[in-house]
């Protein structure tokens, strides 16, 4: 799924309860992360829930996987993967994720702690893309 399809899917949902349910569905569809990857190095600071991200480089592209112990946060990881995973380092660094977040209507309906956690994940991915871009 790409971001435009995600925006369309969110636009078809009537109320915020339906959007929460859809976020949970997206999160449930994420493959489970190996327990061996749930290390302190992969843990994302700034999240109320437990969140881990693993990243892998393929040429000038960054791919990442994530997991959380909270269903809504797993859904936010799925959203972030749709927005950023598989893009080039330059595209990731330049992406206006806050605008994407707002287009989905997430800005108005998530708690401040979930919002902060989401943007902590964004910061982690962008920092890695920036670091890897310097190695090219």
- For 74-85, how does the pLDDT look when each residue is reduced to its tens digit (9 = 90+)? 999 999 999 999
Q: Confidence band (pLDDT; 50, 70, 90) for 20?
A: very high
Q: Which of 23, 47, 106, 122 is catalytic?
A: 47
Q: Helix, strand or coil for residue 134?
A: coil
Distances (CA, A) of 29 to 113, 114, 117: 23, 20, 20
Residue 76 burial (CB < 10 Å; 0-12/13-18/19+)? buried
Q: Indicate the pTM of the whole model.
A: 0.96
Residue carrying structure tokens 């859809």: 22
96-123: pLDDT as tens digits: 999 999 999 888 888 899 999 999 999 9
Domains in the chain with CATH codes: 3-133 (3.90.1010.10)
Is 47 a residue of the active site? yes
């Amino acid at each position: 799924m790409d971001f435009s399809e995600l925006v369309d899917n969110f636009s078809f949902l009537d109320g915020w309860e339906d959007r929460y349910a859809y976020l949970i569905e997206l999160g449930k569809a994420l493959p489970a992360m190996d327990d061996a990857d749930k290390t302190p190095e992969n843990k994302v600071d700034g999240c109320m829930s437990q969140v881990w991200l693993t990243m892998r480089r393929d040429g000038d592209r960054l791919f990442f996987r994530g997991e959380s112990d909270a269903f809504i946060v797993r859904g936010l990881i799925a959203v972030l993967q749709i927005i950023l995973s598989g893009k080039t380092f330059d595209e990731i660094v330049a992406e206006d994720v806050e605008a994407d977040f707002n287009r989905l209507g997430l800005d108005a309906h998530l708690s401040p702690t979930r919002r902060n956690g989401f943007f902590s994940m964004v910061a982690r991915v962008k920092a890695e893309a920036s670091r890897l871009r310097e190695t090219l």
